[in-house]
Amino acid sequence: MKIEERLKDLGITLPEVARPVASYTPAVLSGAYVFVSGQLPLVGGRLKFEGRVGREVSVDEARECARIAILNGLAAVRNVVGSLDKIKHIVRVTGYVRSGEDFKDHPRVLNGASDLLVEVFGDAGVHARSAVGSSGLPLGAPVEVEMIVEVQA
Amino acid sequence: MKIEERLKDLGITLPEVARPVASYTPAVLSGAYVFVSGQLPLVGGRLKFEGRVGREVSVDEARECARIAILNGLAAVRNVVGSLDKIKHIVRVTGYVRSGEDFKDHPRVLNGASDLLVEVFGDAGVHARSAVGSSGLPLGAPVEVEMIVEVQA
Amino acid sequence: MKIEERLKDLGITLPEVARPVASYTPAVLSGAYVFVSGQLPLVGGRLKFEGRVGREVSVDEARECARIAILNGLAAVRNVVGSLDKIKHIVRVTGYVRSGEDFKDHPRVLNGASDLLVEVFGDAGVHARSAVGSSGLPLGAPVEVEMIVEVQA
């Protein structure tokens, strides 16, 4: 795969990785896996949208949040292994959608992340996924997305 | 282990695996592990129950949902590795229970999945588990269950 | 690393591991990883605090809950591999905070777990992390924390 080239062709620039001010880190390499911390839809250090999906934030806006969050996650992976070309497979994605009792469209929201992964990685981007609702998320974010990625040893 | 035979003895038939219409897949094989997507209590493509556990859906009905979801998960594993006899160990199960502020019986709900796994796999079915509440789940499902399974290389 | 000695220096005593009365277990060793079940802030079999974070339970009390839960998790790891000196790296921590729609301080709560891990393990304790809100947790606990740990083969 020439994923770094493909990113350029798609006109996608990964964001800078902000090191969290805490005892944890955006991504950890362990064996053949990179475990990525829960990513928020931060652009330049600020939430792109804030609020509950289905109320203050629309499903389309939340889809965009999922896409931004997964781009932040890919940036964290690159920061740890040097290049996205080292990724063998996107293994699992878990997405949390801040939403109320009656919200049912979590999968549509998470497609913002899943579709981006397949757009960039093709078959190697097809992953296992869980999409769930959350009563609230850090900073008031509408979406949080984490993932596990298999990389070349 | 002769798990496929044991399934027959128990009178358990695994469901068909529905490929989700999306960029993700029900299960991914990576190294010695199968990562299974969050599974809903779907029977023939429809939710067996719908609603919040402790209100529209009873704890017993939710237990049944957890059992159905984990059977869907096992079907997804079989679809990827060919036979349940290749499973070495059920490693981890995470279960999300759609429920309100006062609900506390998440473990009893998830036992519907955990007990089935031990019934089928014996000691190899004893797993690590997290049971948590969720404000809402896809389609309005009362329960969603994901798992990680170790298989023969 | 001399982690067991370091625990003594820090004056930290790990609790007894209570085997849950169910088909699951506090921790599973699989390959080079220990998968730890969702841990509650139980001390001597009873919740240290109960309620929603930001209402009945303060953020500081919830931080303490996260610390207690991760100590229970370390006890579960030791129970499986014999000694914390066998831990190579804390790979991932996921923390669920029982909280309402407006709560945004999940990271501060989880720092109770993350800071303890770095206090005990140093660089090997720096992990990937997800912090999310939950509508409710088992027994009415304010916090639940799970983790994945890499150990010497």
Q: At the top level of CATH, which class does the domain C3-13+25-151 belong to? A: alpha beta
Cβ of A63 under 8 Å from any chain B Cβ? no
Residue C1: the pLDDT is 54
CA dist., res. B95 & res. B28, Å (int)? 19
A18 confidence band (pLDDT: 50, 70, 90): confident
Judge: A23–C93 Cβ closer than 8 Å, yes or no: no
Q: Nearest CB to B28: which of A111, A128, A131?
A: A128
CA dist., res. C14 & res. C9, Å (int)? 13
Judge: B24–A91 Cβ closer than 8 Å, yes or no: no
CA dihedral A67, A130, A121, C148 (to 10 degrees): 110
Q: At the top level of CATH, which class does the domain A3-19+27-151 belong to? A: alpha beta
Q: What is the ipTM of this complex?
A: 0.95
Residue C127 burial (C-beta neighbours within 10 Å; 0-12, 13-18, 19+):
buried
User: Coil, helix or strand for A79?
Assistant: helix
CA dist., res. C61 & res. A52, Å (int)? 26
Judge: C28–B101 Cβ closer than 8 Å, yes or no: no
Neighbour subunits, C (≥3 Cβ pairs < 8 A)? A, B
Cβ of B31 under 8 Å from any chain A Cβ? yes
Residue B18: the pLDDT is 73
For the whole model, what pTM was predicted? 0.96
Cβ of A85 under 8 Å from any chain B Cβ? no
Helix, strand, coil tally for chain A in percent (to 5) = 35, 30, 30
Searching chain C, which residue's CA lies closest to the CA of residue A146?
C130
Residue-wise burial string across B93-123, b where 16 or more C-beta atoms lie within 10 A, e elsewhere: bbbbbbbebebbbbbbbbbbbbbbbbebbee
B2-16, B47-61, C14-28, C31-45: segment of lowest average pLDDT? C14-28
- Asked if pLDDT for residue B129 goes beyond 70, the answer is yes
Residues 6 or more apart whose CB falls under 8 angstroms from that of A41 comprise A47, A48, A49, A64, A65, A66, A68, A69, A72, A141, A142, A143
Q: For all residues of chain B together, what is the average pLDDT?
A: 94
Chain C residues within an 8 Å CB radius of A30: 89, 91, 150
Length of chain B: 153
Residue C21: the pLDDT is 61
Q: Of the candidates B86, B66, B68, B64, which has an alpha carbon nearest to the alpha carbon of residue B77?
A: B86
Q: Of the candidates A73, A77, A48, A44, which has an alpha carbon nearest to the alpha carbon of residue A61?
A: A48
pLDDT digits (tens, 9 = 90+) for A111-124: 999 999 999 999 99
Cβ of A143 under 8 Å from any chain C Cβ? no
CA dist., res. A138 & res. A41, Å (int)? 11
Inter-chain Cβ pairs, chain A and chain B, closer than 8 A: 92
- Asked if pLDDT for residue A19 goes beyond 90, the answer is no
User: Coil, helix or strand for C37?
Assistant: strand
Judge: C126–A37 Cβ closer than 8 Å, yes or no: no
B82: its two tokens: 């060919």
User: Coil, helix or strand for A26?
Assistant: coil
Neighbour subunits, B (≥3 Cβ pairs < 8 A)? A, C
- Asked if pLDDT for residue C89 goes beyond 70, the answer is yes
Judge: A52–C134 Cβ closer than 8 Å, yes or no: no
Residue B148: the pLDDT is 98
How far is CA A111 from each of CA A9, A15, B46, B68, rounded to the nearest angstrom?
Answer: 21, 20, 21, 25
Q: What are the residue ranges of helices labelled H in B46-132?
A: 59-81, 106-121
Average pLDDT score over residue span C73-101: 96
Residue A16: the pLDDT is 86
Q: Nearest CB to B136: which of A100, A111, A148?
A: A100
Searching chain B, which residue's CA lies closest to the CA of residue A88?
B30
Q: Nearest CB to A28: which of C114, C118, C127?
A: C127
Inter-chain Cβ pairs, chain B and chain C, closer than 8 A: 91
Residue B60 burial (C-beta neighbours within 10 Å; 0-12, 13-18, 19+):
exposed
Q: What are the residue ranges of helices labelled H in A1-153?
A: 3-9, 59-81, 106-121
* Domain spans in chain C, listed from the N-terminal domain onward: 3-13+25-151
Searching chain B, which residue's CA lies closest to the CA of residue A123?
B23
pLDDT digits (tens, 9 = 90+) for B16-72: 887 766 789 999 999 999 999 999 999 999 999 999 999 999 999 999 999 999 999
Judge: A103–B36 Cβ closer than 8 Å, yes or no: no
Searching chain C, which residue's CA lies closest to the CA of residue A27?
C128
Residue C20: the pLDDT is 67
pLDDT digits (tens, 9 = 90+) for B73-84: 999 999 999 999
CA dist., res. C58 & res. C52, Å (int)? 9
DSSP C2: -
CATH superfamily, domain at B3-9+31-151: RutC-like (3.30.1330.40)
Residue A97: the pLDDT is 98
Strand partners, A143: A97
Task: Please tell me the number of Cα atoms within 13 Å of B103 on its side-chain side.
Answer: 28
Residue C22: the pLDDT is 72
Searching chain C, which residue's CA lies closest to the CA of residue B152?
C31
